[in-house]
Homo-oligomer: A and B are copies of this chain.
């Protein structure tokens, strides 16, 4: 972790925009990408995101469907592009937390709280963006760098806790646990608990923390 700069990670996570591979982006492409993002932001704010179709976005941006899809292969990636800034922020905050001094398990709790807050604050975009991942790439979210980043961060903290002797039980499968702890943060699950069942955010935050080993 220490050899990996913050910038590398952040760039690695910047999925939907110009990708890190191709060096240049043509001016018309850049212009249109901006138009799309702007239009999407407006539409998503004034209407239920679920009801906004990709065609709506294209039309509002004054751009063909093909153009839209070239940059944003599906609604999920479009939403992610809109979440670029908050994502960066939460990552930076997490970096600071992880490299701060303190007990690993406390940090883990704090980290989980941050993730809950992030999910809460961006719930509509996350939920709307999760919708079209139906076809072949329903599993894409698990392969996404942002997901990996979460998993590795949690795993790192758990391993640190183990090293320091903070974990009572030994022989725990920390890798599995790291992944499993993230499962209740899956958007659909979270959305259902909050918007349908009406469970308060605090309960989720506390409950999730209590799920981590100690």
Bound CA span A211–B15, Å: 32
| A:136-181 near B, CB below 8 Å | 136, 138-139, 142-143, 169, 172-173, 176-177, 179-181
From A5-13, A84-92, A192-200, give the one contacting chain B: A192-200
Copies in the complex: 2
Report the separation of the CA atoms of residues A188 and B204 in the bound assembly, to the nearest whole angstrom. 22
Nearest chain B residue, comparing its CB with the CB of A180: B184
Q: Which of the residues B130, B139, B172, B189 comes within 8 Å of A192, measured between beta carbons? A: B139
Given contacts A183-B186, A184-B183, A204-B176, whether A138 and B142 have CB atoms under 8 Å apart is no
The one of B139, B183, B189, B206 in contact with A173, judged by C-beta atoms closer than 8 angstroms, is: B206
B176-A203 in contact (CB<8A): yes
Using Cβ atoms and an 8 Å threshold, which residues of chain B touch A179? 184, 193
